[in-house]
Amino acid sequence: MTAPPELPPDLPPELVDSHCHLDFPDFDGELEQIVARARAAGVTRMVHICTKPDRLPRAIEIAEGHDGIFFAYGIHPMSAGEVPPLSVADLVEAAKHPKMVGIGESGLDFHYTPDSAPAQRDSLRIHIQAAQETGLPLIIHARAADEEMEAILSEGMARAPYPCVMHCFSSGPRLAEAALEMGFYLSMSGIAAFPKSGDLRDIFARAPLDRILVETDSPYLAPPPHRGHRNEPAYTAFTAKVGAQVFGVTEAEFAAATSANFDRLFARAAAFPRAA
């Protein structure tokens, strides 16, 4: 078991970690401590992302066992060439669970898994259709595929509208602009807090604050001062500090804005009563 990590001394209120992976082996045997540290850091709600069908029962167990934890379900693009594809009907059926609040993550990753590009494209289109049919937000992973990502998302939007967040956004300005034009949200991860991410912070700064979410993508991409170590939902607070600086607002204002944005996009989660 790891020692309790450093937490920000001045904690912003009511943060939401809109994207984390609580079932990964990195957290084995520590889930309750991880959740408790998140609460102590002001992170009152989390969306656990289930990335493979065989992990769905555990995702449901985590969500049902914790107030303020929800789940999204889909096939990660890096797994699209390895696991049997989900159908639209599979996703629609899973979405009957009241704590399933999003579709995905899905998308395109041509950096790590270019060989499975055809399967990724097919999977992405299935996830788009599921988002259209359920009304749940699509959660997009994009890496080294900006042009094609824009084309497929736009193609889907031309057929029928759907809500969407560009998770862990680290793509270029054109994809950011296209996503915002389609009414999507951009999610700020620990990458935005890295010292050399000035260009990415500039992209966020040009976006409306009412389209910004914040996340960890834990156990990956820990922001400073924990960069290079395991990430966890409590560290949302460190990225939020940087987000407040990017938008020229107080930490409390940034927390309130991103929480309101979360409620607007993830309306099913917003409808749940808050824990006392």
pLDDT for 137: 98
Query: Which candidate, 114, 108, 47, places its Cα nearest to that of 75?
Result: 108
Q: pLDDT confidence of 1, banded at 50, 70, 90?
A: very low
Beta strands in 65-181 (DSSP E): 69-73, 100-109, 138-143, 164-166
Contact 143, 111 (CB under 8 A): yes
Assign domain 15-270 to its CATH superfamily: Metal-dependent hydrolases (3.20.20.140)
Query: Which candidate, 208, 196, 156, 151, places its Cα nearest to that of 174?
Result: 151
Judged by DSSP in three states, 273 sits in coil
Q: Is the pTM of this model over 0.85?
A: yes
Query: Tell me: the pLDDT tens digits for 142-192?
Result: 999 999 999 999 999 999 999 999 999 999 999 999 999 999 999 999 999
- Check whether 4 has a pLDDT greater than 80: no
Contact 214, 240 (CB under 8 A): yes
> What residues contact 190, with CB distance under 8 A and at least 6 apart?
216, 217, 221, 222, 223, 227, 231, 235, 238, 239
pLDDT for 274: 73
- Check whether 11 has a pLDDT greater than 80: no
| b/e sequence 222-259, b meaning 16+ C-beta within 10 Å | bbeebbeebbbbbbbbbbbbbbbebbeeebbebbbbbb
Query: Tell me: the pLDDT tens digits for 36-86?
Result: 999 999 999 999 999 999 999 999 999 999 999 999 999 999 999 999 999
- Count, in order, helices (H) and strands (E) of the chain: 10, 8
- Domain locations along the chain: 15-270
- Tokens 């099913």: give the residue: 268
Judged by DSSP in three states, 28 sits in coil
Percent of the chain with pLDDT over 90: 93
